Amino acid sequence: MKCPFCDAEMLHGYLNCGNAIWSERKHKISTLPDTKEKYAFHLGTPLLSPHHVACDCCPSCKRLIVDTSDYENNLG
Ligand SMILES: [Zn+2]
């Protein structure tokens, strides 16, 4: 796919990561969401190997684009 920011051809690959959350707020200790915040892309601590999140990376402007629709969220 083309990068929507700079139009370069993006590289397809995987975000190899441990626990993670996208949230409206900064988490200082854990990545567990509370009942008040909006969150998406909640990944628990991996048991055996890192999570492998398919995504695209722009080799020019270095942005990542992640489709988080299949991951835990409370965005509705
Ligand atoms: Zn780009």
For residue 38, being part of any structural domain is answered with no
Range of the domain at 64: 1-28+50-71
- Ligand 1 centroid to Cα of residue 13, in Å, is 15
- What percentage of residues in the chain have a pLDDT greater than 90? 99
For residue 45, being part of any structural domain is answered with no
- Per-residue confidence (pLDDT) for residue 8, from 0 to 100: 98
Tokens 């990561």 found at: 17
Burial label, 47 (beta-carbon count in 10 A; 0-12, 13-18, 19+)? exposed
Neighbours of 42 (CB within 10 A): 18
For residue 2, being part of any structural domain is answered with yes
Helix (H) / strand (E) containing 53: strand 51-57
For residue 4, being part of any structural domain is answered with yes
For residue 3, being part of any structural domain is answered with yes
- Ligand 1 centroid to Cα of residue 45, in Å, is 30
For residue 37, being part of any structural domain is answered with no
pLDDT tens-digit series, residues 20-57: 999 999 999 999 999 999 999 999 999 999 999 999 99
For residue 36, being part of any structural domain is answered with no
- Per-residue confidence (pLDDT) for residue 58, from 0 to 100: 98
- Ligand 1 centroid to Cα of residue 3, in Å, is 5
